Structure 1
Amino acid sequence: MASFQTYLVGGAVRDRLLGLPVQDRDWVVVGASPADLLVAGYQPVGKDFPVFLHPTTHEEVALARTERKTAAGYHGFAFHAAPDVTLEQDLARRDLTINAMAEGADGQVVDPYGGQRDLQHKVLRHVSPAFAEDPVRILRLARFAARFANFTVAPETVALMRTMVAAGEVDALVAERVWQELSRGLMERQPSRMFEVLREAGALRKLLPEVDALFGVPQPEAHHPEIDTGVHLMLVLDQCAAQAAPLTVRYACLCHDLGKGTTRKEELPRHIGHEGRSEKLARAVSARWKVPTDCRELAELVAREHTHVHQSGGFGPEARLRLLERCDAWRRPERFAELLWACECDARGRAGLQDRDYPQRAQLAADLAAAQQVDLGAVSAAALARGARGPEIGREVQRARLEALQARG
C-alpha cells in the first residue's frame, strides 16, 4: 500500500492561529489514490470529487486535487485528483491566503501563499488569479469581511472582483447559493461589512439593486442623524448583530426600508408611503433568491408595519388593537415578537441613538399578553346565550380584547 500524508487545511488552521474556537476540521490527503484509501479502510462519500470518511474519526478527508474552469458560473469546473498532486497545488485552488494554509501531523504550518502574513496584517487577499473563476468567492470574501470586521480587502482583490462583475460572472450565480452566503453573512458579527464589500466590488447592484439604491438617499435629520438611508440600514444590521437577533429578524431589517430607494426626488427627504413600496420590493427580493418562508413573511410584515409600531406609543387602545389584528398576532405571537425585535433594531440603528429606549416593544408585547388572557370560550358562550351568531360572536371577542387593552390604558 502506498504511503500518504494527511494535513489539516483551511479554516481550522486559520482559526487556530487566530486563537478562535475551531468549528469544522477539513483534511487533505497527499500522495494517495482512491484505491489506496479504500485499502486503508476509508469509506467513499464524494460524488463530484474523491471524498472519504476516516475509518476511526469518521471525519471527511479529500484527496489533494487541482481544478480548472470549463464553463461559466460556479458549477463549471473539472477536477483532477491523483497521487502526484502536491499540497501546494491543492492549496493554490483555495480562495483567500488565510484559508490556504495546512498543518501536518507534527504541528508545522505549511503556508506557501503568505496566509500568516495576511493574518498578522489583517488582510483578505486572493491566492491566485484562479479566484476569478468562481463568482461565489465574491460572496464568500464579503462574508469573511463581516466575520473578521477589522480586516481590510487587498486593493488588488477588490480590482479583481470588479473585473469579475464586469465580465458577468455574478450573473451566473444560482439563487440557492446566493441565499446560502447572504444568510451566513447576515449572521456574522458585523453584517454591514458584507454589504460594504459587495458594494465596493460592484456586486451589490447586481445581487441586491434595491439595497444598493438606498445609498445616497437622504432622510429627515430629526429622525435620522446619519441622514443617508444606506448608512442607516448598515447601522440597523449591526444593531441586529449586537442584539444577537435571529436570521428572520436580520433579513427583515435588511428589507424594511427598500421602498425609500424609489421615492421621487421632489418628495425627498421625506418618504411618504415607503412602507407599501418596501413590502412589494421585499417580496420581489425573496422570490429572486428563494428566501425561506419564515424570513420572507417577517420581512413583508416589518416593511409594512414598522412605522406603525414606532408610532404606537401615541396610539389609543383601539388603534393598538387594530395593529395586533393586522399582524395576526393572535395566531402568530412568535412572529409578532420578532416584528417588535426588528423594529427596536431599526429604532436603535441610527447615529448616536444605539442606546435609546424603545418602550413600544414592551408595551405592544404587554398588549398582546393582556388580550391573550381573554377567555374566548366564555365570551363566545355568553354571546351564544344571548342569541348571537357568526360575525356577532367575532365582534364580541374583539370587544373583550379591546376592554383588556383599555384596562391597560
Structure 2
Amino acid sequence: MTDGEVRRPAAGLVQLGGAAAAVLEAVRSAGGRPYLVGGCVRDAVLFPGRRPADVDVEVFGLELDRVAAALAPVGRVDAVGRSFGVLKVRRDGEDLDVSVPQALVDGARVADPAMSLDDAVRRRDYTVNALVFDPSTEEVVDLVGGLADLRDGVLRHTGPAFSDDPLRVLRGVQFAARFGFRLAPETAELCRSLAPAYADLPRERVWGEWRKLAEKGRFLSAALAALRESGWLASVPQLARLDGVLQDPRWHPEGDALVHSGLAGDAAAALADEAGLTGDDRAVVVLGALLHDLGKARYTQHRADGRITSHGHAEGGVAPVEELLASIGAPSALVARITPIVREHMTAITTGGRPSSAAVRRLARRLEPASIAEWSLVCGADHAGRGTGSGPNPTTSWLEVAGSAGVDERAGGLLLRGSDLIALGIRPGPHFAPVMRAALTAQDDGEFIDRDGAVAWLARAEADGRLGRLLAEGRRP
C-alpha cells in the first residue's frame, strides 16, 4: 500500500456480466493487471447491488497492442479510440471500454502502460471518479479520499492534472445534476480560474455534458449551484441573467427566477422519470422546464403598487432559449421541440377554465413537433417548482380534452388535399394556400374529423361561394 491508500473489502460489489469477466481473465492471462475504474465503481458504492450500465477497465503493465491481441478471442475489438489508449470491446451485447494509462506529453495524450496506479488515479477528474476496484482481491482501492467525498456528496479535483481539460468543470456540473453533489471550495476556485477556457471548447463536447445532464440529471438546482460556484454560469448568459431577477412572492415565494428555474428542473426530472421518459424525450421536458422562464430577464417589471409582473415573458423567452441551446450545441430537432413548449407554457393559466376541443387542437398545432403531453409535464414542473407556493398542474383538463379529441400526442396533418381541389377542375398554384389555411382552421374547430368530412367541407365551401373568395384572395398580387 502507498501513503494515503485505503483498501476496503468489497466482495461482490461490482456485478459483472460474462463479457467483463472474460475481458479480465484475458488481460490477466496476458500478464496485465486489470482494474475496474471510473463510474462503474462510483455507482457500485452509491447503489450496491445495481449492475453497472458501463464498465471501464484500465490495464497496467501491457502495451495497447498486446491488450488488443489478448482481447481478440474475447469479442469484437474496435480500435476507434486507439490514439487515446482506448479499445472498445463488444461481446454478447455488452460493450466495455478497455484502456491503458495515459500521460500528457507536449499537450497530447499518449499511452503509458508503465504508469503507476497512484499516478493514473491522480490524472482523473474528481476523487469520486478515481475509486478503483481490484477484481483480483475484490477490494475498492481509494488513493485520493474518494470514499469520504462520495459519502459527503463532494466533488473535489484529484490534483493539478484537472486543469489539463477544462471540460471537467462541466462534467462536475452534470455530476451535480445526477447525484446532487456540491463543489469543494478549492475545486470551485480552480474552476473559476479555468472559466476563460470555455470559449475554446468544441460545441460537441459541451453538448455531451449538457445532454447527460438533461437525460440523467435529477438535481437541476444542484447543477445551477455548481455553475454559479464555479463561475461558469456566465457560459450560458441567457440563464445567468435570471440570477437576482425578483418574482412576485404571491406566486413565487421560493426566490428569484434562477432559483425557480432550478426547482422547476428538479420537478421536471421527477415527472419525466415517473412518465418513463428517456433520451431526447426526457431532455425536452427537463430542459424545457429549466429554461422556460428565460424571458423574465427582459420582461419583468416592478409596478408602482409593489407588484412584480412579467407579461409577455413566455413568447419573449423563445429567442434566448434558441440562443442558449445553439450555444451549447443542442441538435436543431431538440430545439424545435423545446421552443414551442416555452412559448405556450402560460396558455393554460391565461385561458382559464376547461378548454374546448378546438382550443386543444389549436394548441397541439402550435406545439408541433412537441406534444401536449410534453407541454403538460413542463407546465406541471413550473407549478411544482415554487417551494411553499407549489400547486397542482393547471393542464389536467387540457389533457383530458386532448384525450377525448384524439390529440393527446399530435394534432395530425391536414385532411384536405390539393388533389381534392384539382378534382374540381382547379389548376394548382399558390392560390391553393388560403383554401388550405381555412380548411386547417375548420379541421381544428371540429367541422370535420376525417377525409370524407374534408371533401364534404370543400363541397359546401364551393356551394356557398367561400371557395371562390378564398381562391381569389390567393391570386391577388
Q: Does 2:342 align with 1:296?
A: no
Deviation at 1:189, TM superposition (A): 1.7
Give the 3 Å change call, closer, same or farther, for CA 200–38 of structure 1 in structure 2: closer
After superposition, where does 1:289-328 map in structure 2 within 5 Å? 289-314=328-353, 317=356, 321-322=358-359, 324-325=361-362, 327-328=364-365
Cα distance between partner residues in 2 of 1:343 and 1:123: 32
Matches within 5 A, 1:3-402: 3-20=31-48, 21=50, 22-42=52-72, 43=77, 45=79, 46-53=81-88, 59-68=96-105, 70=107, 78-104=108-134, 105-149=136-180, 151-165=181-195, 168-186=196-214, 187-205=216-234, 207-244=235-272, 246-263=282-299, 269-314=308-353, 317=356, 321-322=358-359, 324-325=361-362, 327-328=364-365, 332=368, 335-354=371-390, 356-367=391-402, 369-370=404-405, 374-386=448-460, 388=462, 392=466
Q: Give the Cα separation in 2 of the matches to 1:276 and 1:41.
A: 56
Distance in 1 (alpha carbons) for counterparts of 2:104 and 2:351: 57
Q: Which runs of 5 or more residues in structure 1 are unaligned?
A: 71-77, 396-409
What SS does the aligned partner of 2:272 have?
coil
Q: TM-score, normalised by structure 1?
A: 0.83
Aligned with 1:48: secondary structure? helix
Q: The residue matched to 2:57 in structure 1 has which SS? A: strand
TM-superposed CA distance for 1:137, in Å, is 0.6
Q: Does structure 2 retain, via aligned residues, the 8 Å contact 1:65–1:89?
A: no
The structural deviation recorded for 1:309 is 2.2
Work out whether residues 313 and 360 of structure 1, in 8 Å CA contact, stay in contact via their aligned partners in 2.
no
**Once the 2 structures are TM-superposed, how far is the Cα of residue 358 of structure 1 from its aligned partner?**
2.5
Tell me, in whole angstroms, the C-alpha distance in 2 between the residues paired with 1:264 and 1:60.
49
Q: What is the rounded CA distance, in whole Å, between the counterparts of 1:287 and 1:131 in structure 2?
A: 27
Offset of residue 49 of structure 1:
1.9
Q: For residues 240-280 of structure 1, give each alpha carbon's deviation from its aligned partner in whole angstroms, at most 9, with x where no partner exists.
A: 11212511111112221111112366567211222232011
> Paired residue for 2:427?
none
Relative to structure 1, is the Cα distance of residues 343 and 390 closer, same or farther in structure 2, using a 3 angstrom cutoff?
farther
Change (3 A) 1:113 1:361: same
How far apart, CA to CA, are the structure 1 residues paired with 2:355 and 2:44?
56
- Change over 3 Å in CA distance of 1:371–1:389 after alignment to 2: farther
Distance change >3 Å, CA 174–CA 36, structure 1 → 2: closer
Q: CA separation in 1, counterparts of 2:402 and 2:38?
A: 50
Kindly provide the amino acid, as one letter, of the partner of residue 278 in structure 1.
Answer: G
When residues 202 and 68 of structure 1 are mapped into structure 2, their CA distance, relative to the original with a 3 A threshold, is: farther
Which residue of 1 is the match for residue 4 of structure 2?
A: none
Counterpart of 2:137 in 1: which secondary structure? coil
Report percent identity of matched pairs: 32
Q: More displaced, 362-371 or 101-110?
A: 362-371
Q: CA deviation at 1:53?
A: 4.8
User: In structure 1, how many angstroms separate the alpha carbons of the residues matched to 2:265 and 2:90?
Assistant: 44
3-state SS of the aligned residue for 1:388? helix
- Give the CA deviation at 1:134: 1.1
Matched residue type, 1:188? G
Q: Which amino acid aligns with 1:133?
A: D
Structure 1 runs (4+) deviating above 6 angstroms are 55-58
Q: Which has the larger radius of gyration?
A: 2
TM-score normalised per structure 2: 0.72
Q: Is the 8 A contact 2:122 2:159 kept in 1?
A: yes
| Count of matched residue positions in the alignment of Structure 1 and Structure 2 | 379
Q: Distance in 2 between matches of 1:184 and 1:388?
A: 55
Q: Say what the alpha-carbon RMSD is for the aligned residues.
A: 3.0
Q: Is the 8 A contact 2:300 2:309 kept in 1?
A: no
Shift in Å, 1:48: 2.5
Cα deviation, residue 315, structure 1:
6.9
Give CA deviations for 1:101-150 in whole Å, capped at 9, x if unaligned: 2222221222221212322333211000111221111111111112221x
The secondary structure found in structure 2 opposite 1:60 is: strand
* CA displacement at 1:5 relative to structure 2: 0.9
**1:345-389: CA deviation from partner (whole Å, max 9, x where unpaired):** 1122112244x3324333355146327685332432333443538
Q: Which runs of 5+ in 2 are unaligned?
A: 1-28, 274-281, 408-445, 470-477
Q: Find the aligned partners of 2:95 and 2:456 in 1 and give their Cα distance.
A: 64
Correspondence for 2:441 = none
- 1:360 partner amino acid: T
